[in-house]
Amino acid sequence: MLVSEVVTTGDRERFIRYPWAVYRNDPCWVPPLVMEARALLDPRRNPLFAHAEMALFSATHESGAPCGRIAAVVNRRHNEQHGDRTGFFGLFECADDPRAAAALFDAAAGFLRSRGMTVMRGPANLSVNDTFGLLVEGFDTPPAILMPHNPAYYRGLVEGCGFRQAMDLLAYYGDARELPIPERVIRGLDLCRRRYKFQVRPLDLRRFDEEVSRLYQVYTEAWEQNWGAVSMTREEFDHLAAQLKNGLDPDLLLIAEVNGEMAGFSLALPDFNQALIKLNGRLWPFGILKLLWYRRKIDMIRVITMGVLKRFRHMGIDNYFYVETWRRSVAKGMPRGEMSWILENNAAMNNALRNLGFRIHKRYRVYDREL
């Protein structure tokens, strides 16, 4: 078994394309766009690297056949915010070979240990603000947009290498055709809106830059106390906003205001994975035509994030977001929805979704290993 650091352009290209070998027979895998995978790893194009350091490793058998890959990341912003020395592993892909997995994790651990880290956490691809967690339940359907997917045997490889559960992330699912919103819930939320005088409106694309600035202010405050949260820099937030803008439906980015002050926001996206799964990672020359064709058939949304400033959390705004998003997505021909991810210890949001009739259909696990 040989594990080597990815150094050359050719090494990196082989690193990017290795997943096609792992998932060749998995009908639920959504191949990433190769152009986006390259951008993710490029310090010139990914603002994460302004405060993070990364090493990539590939594993090969004695025969020269590739058998795995992994990234090791030191995110200085995480350690500053949490006062710890946690490093991350991510982009983990591996054959069903415990020896290869152990060699990859040992390489990542060595890099993190040399940078003074005392814990290795993951998978984070490449941070908590990217795809996060290992799928441990719910392998029978493709992932929703911007959610990870992996073979079931990965859990055994990870846990067999000394990792222990740190936190579970839950994905809830509902179908409006089977799950109408109870009238009592609608009446109660309309009463809350009138009582507390909050307004909910869609994003104004004509004032996109101004809206993004206000959203960033809410984001930095509303998520700061969540487990493992690492607030994005303004550069990262703007980068993400630019990435999402082309696929954004402004009617599904809802903003709550109280007396003109932004109190919270909720973002849902059409599940573009239903189209991307047809492209095999390529937009050109014909992938863009397939994307345009299959995007018309998308029938599901993913609620990616929702946050309300602490001083407004007693008003029912969070539940109003869910119901209003549900109404709007159904009207647009997307009656199915995934709400993900929700921390397993976030009692308020878990209870709200269960009360609305949603069920857990996927579970992702974040692991820690002492270094």
CA atoms within a 13 Å half-sphere pointing along the CA-CB vector of 179: 19
Please state which of the ranges 110-119, 151-160, 238-247 shows the lowest mean pLDDT: 238-247
pLDDT tens for each residue of 304-349: 999 899 999 999 999 899 999 999 999 999 999 999 999 999 998 8
CA dihedral 153, 159, 164, 165 (to 10 degrees): 10
* Whether residue 184 sits in one domain with residue 55: no
pLDDT value for 329:
96
Show the tokens assigned to 95.
Answer: 């054959």
pLDDT value for 179:
83
Nearest to 268 by CA among 174, 355, 191, 178: 174
Strand boundaries in 35-152, DSSP class E: 52-60, 66-75, 86-94, 119-122, 124-125, 131-132, 134-137
In Å, how far from its chain's centre is CA 73? 17
Cis peptide before 47 (omega within 30 of 0): no
Is the pLDDT confidence value at 224 over 90? no
* Whether residue 45 sits in one domain with residue 182: no
Domain's final residue, options 168, 203, 221: 168
Show the tokens assigned to 336.
Answer: 């199915």
pLDDT value for 349:
87
pLDDT value for 180:
82
* Whether residue 289 sits in one domain with residue 234: yes
* Whether residue 195 sits in one domain with residue 135: no
* 371 in any annotated domain: no
DSSP class of 366 = E
pLDDT value for 287:
85
pLDDT value for 182:
80
pLDDT tens for each residue of 27-86: 999 999 999 999 999 999 999 999 999 999 999 998 889 999 999 999 999 999 999 999
pLDDT value for 186:
85
CB burial class (10 A; 0-12, 13-18, 19+) of residue 80?
A: exposed
pLDDT tens for each residue of 234-279: 999 999 999 998 889 999 999 999 999 999 999 999 999 999 999 9
Nearest to 126 by CA among 45, 59, 70, 44: 70
pLDDT value for 304:
94
Q: How many domains does the chain have?
A: 2
* Whether residue 89 sits in one domain with residue 70: yes
pLDDT value for 171:
98
Q: What is the rounded radius of gyration, in angstroms, for the C-alpha atoms of the chain? A: 21
Show the tokens assigned to 14.
Answer: 């082989």
293-298 contacts at long range (C-beta below 8 A, 24 or more positions apart): 295/270, 298/270, 298/271, 298/272, 298/274, 298/334
* Whether residue 132 sits in one domain with residue 208: no
Residues 6+ apart with CB under 8 A from 112: 72, 74, 87, 89, 120, 371
Buried b (16+ CB within 10 A) or exposed e, 154-175: bbebbbebebeebbbbbbbbbe
pLDDT value for 265:
97
* Whether residue 329 sits in one domain with residue 271: yes
* 370 in any annotated domain: no
Residue-number span of the structural domain to which 97 is assigned: 2-168
Instruction: Read off the pLDDT band of 222 (50, 70, 90).
Output: confident
Q: What are residue 168's phi and psi, to 5 degrees?
A: -105, 145
Task: Give me the mean pLDDT over the 150-167 stretch.
Answer: 98
Is the pLDDT confidence value at 197 over 90? yes
* Whether residue 305 sits in one domain with residue 252: yes
* Whether residue 339 sits in one domain with residue 216: yes
* Whether residue 352 sits in one domain with residue 283: yes
CATH at residue 339: 3.40.630.30
Is the pLDDT confidence value at 357 over 90? no
* 210 in any annotated domain: yes
Task: Give me the mean pLDDT over the 95-117 stretch.
Answer: 98
* Whether residue 178 sits in one domain with residue 164: no
Domain's final residue, options 120, 136, 168: 168
* Whether residue 143 sits in one domain with residue 31: yes
pLDDT value for 1:
82
